Amino acid sequence: MTTYHQPVDAAEVPRFAGHATFMRLPAVASAEGLDIALVGIPWDGGTTNRAGARHGPREVRNQSSLMRRAHHVSGVAPFAVANVADVGDLPVNPIDLGDALARIETAMAGIVAAGALPLSVGGDHLVTLPVLRAVAKDGPVGLIHFDAHSDTNDTYFGGNPYTHGTPFRRAIEEGLLDPGRVIQIGIRGSVYDPGEHDWARAQGIRIVYMEEFVRRGAAEVMAEARAIVGDGATYVTFDVDAIDPSMAPGTGTPEIGGLTTRESQEMVRLLGGVNIVGADVVEVAPPFDVGGMTALVGATMMFELLCVMADMIDRRRRA
Ligand code: MN
Ligand code: MN
């Protein structure tokens, strides 16, 4: 009989009752003994326009009470094959960007050192930079990045290098990412400059614009993604603005003409075989949400990622 953490049984305690934790799992003080640590990063100090993603983790926890125990397509039952719990929110500082990044990195390094794979909810996309600093401590990792934006700009506001529009440029400069093993999917929308993505492409990043995704479809694009990252360590980051704002309006930088929720689910389900070392869902901004629908999208994408990660762990154990 498994001793893994289990969600509160919704046939005993209804989904709207009790403390809100990710997936109704126990809240634990440490990642010791966990295979996958669910964690919030409630910080949006890197946001350049509409703030609010700092409120993301709490609302995603709330909506994640709708997640059940098994995936209806893959049959994966993540809580049966992996030990998963909610380790709470990482410490943040809403009024000091540098201190916030340092706190996030230090706390995430503790989760990684405990041997757990982090699955986090932001926060704006800058939180992925300190997460990568912790996850890529032994060398650069690959990246599968779903987003409307490349997030590889250089500086904002008089040379400031740290915003949610710059994390992946900084990550490449810091040697956290192997740019030849980076693919960005869903990129679209107006840009500051026609050459805005030239730097990223010159590094070797593969950018799949939304229009190319529509032409080729999920199966083909994800086959390419799996080939690009190969079997090396790979991080998966899902910016909820990759999804069309008609389905995910609660985000700071919406762009029309985006992925559907179903296309997004299909792509995450095609991550099988990828050596995932961590993942996140970012940019859920509840102040702009409608009836919690974007937080539900975030929670559901988190569950999709969790199922893929738990299945990876289970396959390794059985190999
Ligand atoms: Mn982003
Ligand atoms: Mn974005």
Give 315 Cα–ligand 2 centroid separation in angstroms. Answer: 32
CA of 283 to the centre of ligand 2 (A): 7
Task: Give the torsion sign (CA, 94, 145, 178, 172).
Answer: negative
Q: Is 285 exposed, middle or buried (0-12, 13-18, 19+ CB in 10 A)?
A: buried
User: What pLDDT is attached to residue 204?
Assistant: 98
* Spacing, Cα 238 to ligand 1 middle (Å): 8
pTM of full prediction above 0.75: yes
Distance of CA 283 to the CA centre of its chain: 9
Choose which CATH entry (3.40.50.300, 3.30.1740.10, 3.10.129.10, 3.40.800.10) describes domain 22-318. 3.40.800.10
Report CA(269)–ligand 2 centroid distance (Å). 21
Amino acid at 83: N
Quote the pLDDT of residue 182: 98
Question: Could you read off the pLDDT tens digit of each residue along the chain, which spans 319 residues?
Answer: 569 999 999 999 999 999 999 999 999 999 999 999 999 999 999 999 999 999 999 999 999 999 999 999 999 999 999 999 999 999 999 999 999 999 999 999 999 999 999 999 999 999 999 999 999 999 999 999 999 999 999 999 999 999 999 999 999 999 999 999 999 999 999 999 999 999 999 999 999 999 999 999 999 999 999 999 999 999 999 999 999 999 999 999 999 999 999 999 999 999 999 999 999 999 999 999 999 999 999 999 999 999 999 999 999 999 9
pLDDT at position 1: 53
**Which residues are found with C-beta within 5 Å of the ion, ligand 1?**
125, 147, 149, 151, 239
Distances (CA, A) of 22 to 57, 66, 146, 147, 240: 9, 10, 22, 23, 17
What's the confidence (pLDDT) of residue 58?
98
Please report the pLDDT score of residue 205 as a whole number.
Answer: 98
- Tokens for 232, please give them: 């090396």
Q: How far is the CA of 9 from the centre of ligand 2 (A)?
A: 35
The pair of three-digit structure tokens given for residue 84, joined into one six-digit string: 């998963």
Edge-to-edge strands, sheet with 276-282: 84-89, 36-41, 117-122, 276-282, 234-239, 141-146, 177-187, 206-209
Residue 316: predicted pLDDT: 97
Closest listed ligand to the CA of 245: 2
31 contacts 37 by C-beta, under 8 angstroms: yes
Domain boundaries, the chain: 22-318
